[in-house]
Amino acid sequence: MCEPHQQLWVTAMVVSLLCGPTTSIARGQQDGTEPRDSSGVQRVSLAQLLEYATDNAPQATVARSRLAIGTAAEEAASPRFPANPTLRLNAGSRSLGRASDLELQATMLQPLEVAGERRLRIKLAKATQDLANAELDAAQWTVHQAIHATFHASLVARERATLAQELLDFQNQLLRIARGRVNAGDVSPLTERLAEAEVAQAQQGKIAADQRYLALCLSLAELAGWPDHRPLPEPAGTLQNPWHPPSIERLLTLASQYHPALAVRGAAVEAARARSRTENRDGWPHPSVGVATAREGAPGGGPHEWTLTGILVAPFPFWQRNQAARATANAQLEMAEATKSAVRRVLRYRLRNLASAVEAAAARTESYGAEVLPRFEEHLLLLRRSFELGEIDLLQLSVGRDRFLRIQLDALAAKEDYFTAVAALEAELGTDPWSSTEQEKENGR
């Protein structure tokens, strides 16, 4: 597809997204899906995307497949004996002078564990399964946080695309006015050329804004594992007003309960401790018990004899006591404990840093007020009328338009920074501190 046609396709695709009805939802999380339209898109709420991603997100699916490792460890630990019994058969002859007779011997040995190794292996298998579950929870929260962030980023991108469309409409109106004034002889033809150039620039900005919005919708589909045969998901709702973060002590309490890295590190420590105990116990001797039966021949002509003997085989662990595996397991335990301790030590500072970023971004967003973004169209109308009446020339209009536009873009950038900071804080907490449940806990209800 050539570049002009590709740009037209992108523009048509995303303009169709923007023209659909918008449902206002608190924090973008109300349930309900708007009807599909002929453009091949579907308005989907944040709650619906998160619910779908729980079972279908690629990252969570891969993490879920690791649960089979814990299941395999449980199956490996289930047998009561560490090894299969062995059977040894001996056959030969006993000779006396020229006479000989057949002699047979059969020995059965069964290795045993006498120091509780099986019990420790079962504990290790359970710890391995717990670690896999913790990693799955962490992966699912990573997907949750990524979708949450991308969802709100796409809402900001949609507002930018709407702003770009308003600007393009405004520039087209100015071009018509400029042509009329040129034909009337009020202004020089240069004014029309400048207006044409600004229309072209506004078209480029609209294409870029549409492409950004479309790219974020595609990212939402990718993160959630959205199927190809379904319409492309488009975020339903509008941007929320900023919320200030809870106190640092409340954030620390939440992190201690839900922090995904802490949960994974804690499970990793328990798994490493269980492995260390198992490897240390495997250094004990593993005896074998069994029986032996033999047929002893009588080459002199007498009757042959049968014997039955009990056997105990006990190795002496003088030199080989599972030293390599024990040392490796102990080192891995130290590493797991050090990693968990490091996460805990930096947690308070990370939470303070992230909470301050949310607080600053919320203050920036509030400083623009609720009237800044909605009044952009009104400001453009005033500029257009002034230009149409000849009160200002095109250059003066461009200066005023750029100032209003810069304010709008700064306000949207503040919103984007706010949601980026919120996403980073949620990623560190492992939960949404602004959920209704957490708000009730914060208020002591």
- Mean pLDDT, the chain, rounded, equals 82
H helix intervals, 225-322: 248-258, 260-281
CB-side neighbour CA atoms (13 Å) of 79: 10
Give SS3 for 89. Answer: strand
CB atoms within 10 A of CB 309: 11
Using an 8 Å Cβ cutoff, are 211 and 158 in contact? no
CA distance 186 to 183: 8
Please give the backbone phi and psi of residue 111, each rounded to the nearest 5 degrees, phi first: -65, 145
Using an 8 Å Cβ cutoff, are 296 and 256 in contact? no
Model confidence pLDDT, tens digit, residues 11-58? 444 334 434 333 332 333 333 444 444 456 788 988 899 899 988 999
Using an 8 Å Cβ cutoff, are 234 and 215 in contact? no
Model confidence pLDDT, tens digit, residues 327-358? 999 999 999 999 988 888 888 898 999 999 99
Token pair of 134 as six digits: 């913790």
DSSP bridge partners of 310: 291
Q: Which of 4-8, 276-280, 350-354 has the lowest mean pLDDT?
A: 4-8
Strand-pair category, 232-235 with 41-44: parallel
Model confidence pLDDT, tens digit, residues 260-277? 888 898 999 999 999 999
Type of residue numbered 422: V
pTM of the complete model:
0.73
Q: Which of 34-38, 237-241, 317-321, 380-384 has the lowest mean pLDDT?
A: 34-38
Answer yes or no: is pLDDT of 221 > 90. yes
DSSP bridge partners of 292: 107, 309
Domains of the chain in sequence order: 3-65+113-283+322-442 (1.20.1600.10)
CB-side neighbour CA atoms (13 Å) of 396: 11
CB atoms within 10 A of CB 75: 10
Using an 8 Å Cβ cutoff, are 311 and 107 in contact? yes
Please give the backbone phi and psi of residue 191, each rounded to the nearest 5 degrees, phi first: -60, -40
Using an 8 Å Cβ cutoff, are 286 and 113 in contact? yes
Mean pLDDT along residues 117-124: 88
Q: How many Å separate Cα 207 from the centre of its chain? A: 30
